[in-house]
Chains A and B, each alone.
Chain A
Amino acid sequence: KQEVTQIPAALSVPEGENLVLNCSFTDSAIYNLQWFRQDPGKGLTSLLLIQSSQREQTSGRLNASLDKSSGRSTLYIAASQPGDSATYLCAVRPRNFNKFYFGSGTKLNVKP
């Protein structure tokens, strides 16, 4: 069974810092990996999707990388802003099922 772990569970940084969120998974037979953000009491907003054949994806200040062989993905946020404060979730989709395995998330607080 796929297990997804996110480290750290919480992170507090001053505005302007660059930061890295980590996601690890146990089964490398994945179809894709998706990063989401969730604001309190809200749904999930898709940030980046990386197909299993890709190594990284970029969108604005966000960059996500994928290393299937080691079972790791990182989300890099450049020049963090208070509006980036949210919980960031990593989700892994197995090769043969349309079903996500989610990590427990990293709660990010960016201080002005």
Chain B
Amino acid sequence: KAGVTQTPRYLIKTRGQQVTLSCSPISGHRSVSWYQQTPGQGLQFLFEYFSETQRNKGNFPGRFSGRQFSNSRSEMNVSTLELGDSALYLCASSLEYAGAYNEQFFGPGTRLTVL
């Protein structure tokens, strides 16, 4: 069974540009969550998508947005990049059925560097 995949694995952008990251969840998983990991702030929750709807949102500015498609694949977009957006972006997927063992599985991450 394939795990969570994220593309691209590495990105280098300059300030002011925008970027789109992609996440393919484990087959059958309905929920996709996104996290930002930095040395200073650790792992911080960005948002969660379930059945193509944003269900939960963290405390990030509106420059961070996302969406989920009917096949549960998700994209995350960051506009007007800032130096502080340099981070490892991780996505996680889970089944999210009532009564299920809703374990979260993480992808390998996308390393974004903003110059």
A residues within 8 Å of B by Cβ?
A: 31-32, 34, 36, 41-46, 49, 51, 89, 91, 93, 97-102, 104-105
Interchain Cβ contacts within 8 Å, total number:
58
Residues of A within 8 A of B109 (CB): 42-43
How big is the B interface, by class?
20 to 34
Q: List 8 A-B contacts (CB under 8 A).
A: A42-B108, A43-B4, A46-B105, A91-B43, A98-B55, A99-B45, A100-B92, A105-B42
Q: Are B48 and A99 in contact (CB under 8 A)?
A: yes
Cβ-defined partner of A98 (8 Å) among B43, B56, B105, B111: B56
**Closest Cβ of chain A: how far from B34's Cβ, in Å?**
11
Establish whether residues B107 and A46, one from each chain, have CB atoms under 8 Å apart when the complex forms: no
Partner of A89, one of B43, B45, B50: B43
Looking at the assembled complex, report how far the CB atom of B43 sits from the nearest CB atom of chain A, in whole angstroms.
Answer: 4
Report how far A89 CA is from B37 CA in the complex, Å. Answer: 12
Taking a contact as CB atoms under 8 Å apart, the answer to whether B43 and A43 are in contact is no
Q: Which of A34, A43, A49, A89 lies in contact with B108, CB distance below 8 A?
A: A43
Residues of A within 8 A of B72 (CB): none
B102 touches A97 (CB 8 A): no
A43-B109, A46-B105, A98-B102 given; 18 more Cβ-contact pairs under 8 Å: A34-B103, A34-B104, A36-B106, A41-B88, A42-B108, A42-B109, A43-B6, A43-B106, A44-B106, A45-B106, A91-B104, A97-B48, A98-B33, A98-B50, A98-B94, A99-B58, A104-B42, A105-B42
